[in-house]
Amino acid sequence: MLELSNVQTFYGNIKALGGVNIKISEGEIIALIGANGAGKTTTLMSISGIVPPRSGKIFFMGKPIHLLSPHEIVARGISQVPEGRRIFSQLTVKENLDMGAFLRKDKTGIKKDMEHVFSLFPVLHERRHQIGGTLSGGEQQMLAISRALMARPRLLLLDEPSLGLAPLIVKLIFQVIRKINQEDGATIFLVEQNANMALKVAHRGYVMDNGEITIQGTSEKLLHNEDVKKAYLGIVTAT
């Protein structure tokens, strides 16, 4: 469904991604884990076209998308929940959701999807007329995910959805991620520092270090990989 082939991305002269290869099939949940500054966010921004790759190719549904502008990529069916939520802080909850459906014209479908996200996160329904900036961190994350879902994406990119949230909220968010995947049929590409949580929900995973993919495999395999355990799971096994 999504294929990154030898993607290299730069900020000015600084190389952030040095030839990344990732393949995602329809219906999967894929985790991308790695340390701070490894290039995880850049990978997502390259897919979304905000920081277009300097070389390499990105295919979505078999067609190249690396030369498209961000709004065209959204129109193809890729939505992103960026790091730090980035909700429109001066718009109401409902206006934020409307912005998520910006490219859609089917009014009845939009209304139905709004009811759907309200059923996923009932607290948003209670707060639908409240200004976005007044929500708590967890509520903002729920709103950010809901806003992305309003575009009815085929592929949902999630950047650090657990960052800075209480454990109970993190659990809820991950439950919803699984639900979106199983019930709505959306493919999910999840970037996380919380490697343990991410690999438990994902089918497969990639480990990124210094702008390159160093390890890949099924979640089961990665959870038991000694290097992954040491570097990202905080488990040190006696040798």
Q: Residue 169 contacts by C-beta under 8 Å, 6 or more apart in sequence? A: 138, 141
CB of 68 to other proteins, least distance (A): 12
Which residue from 25, 55, 69, 218 is in contact with other proteins, where contact means CB under 8 A? 69
CA distances for 2 relative to 41, 49, 160, angstroms = 17, 14, 20
Answer for which of 6, 37, 71, 226 binds other proteins (CB under 8 A) is 71
Choices 44-52, 134-142, 184-192, 223-231; region in contact with other proteins by CB under 8 A:
44-52
* 64 or 133: CB nearest other proteins: 133
Cα separation, 205 vs 191, whole angstroms = 10
Interface stretch with other proteins, choices 24-32, 45-53, 184-192, 202-210 (CB under 8 A)? 45-53
151: contact with other proteins by CB under 8 A: yes
Which one, 140 or 219, has the nearer CB to other proteins? 140
CA 18 to chain CA centroid, Å, is: 21
- Contacting residue, 50, 123, 163, 233, with other proteins by CB under 8 A: 50
Nearer to other proteins, 50 or 172 (CB): 50
Query: If binding is defined by CB under 8 A, does position 134 make contact with other proteins?
Result: no
67 binds other proteins (CB under 8 A): no
In which residue are the tokens 């000015």 written? 12
Is residue 88 involved in binding other proteins (CB under 8 A)? yes
Tell the residue number behind the tokens 């570097």, with chain if given: 231
Residue identified by tokens 């085929």 is: 154
Parallel, antiparallel or unpaired: strands 155-159 and 29-34: unpaired
3-class DSSP state of 223: helix
103 binds other proteins (CB under 8 A): yes
Q: How far apart are CA 209 and CA 87, in angstroms?
A: 29
Instruction: For residue 199, give both structure tokens.
Output: 């690999």
The reply on whether position 95 binds other proteins by CB under 8 A is: yes
48 lies in the binding site for other proteins (CB under 8 A):
yes
Closer residue to other proteins, CB minimum distance, 82 or 205: 82
Residue 21 structure tokens: 């290869």
**How many secondary structure helices (H) and strands (E) does the chain include?**
10, 10
Q: Which residues bind other proteins (CB under 8 A)?
A: 48-50, 69-71, 74-75, 79-80, 82, 86-91, 95, 98-100, 102-103, 147, 151
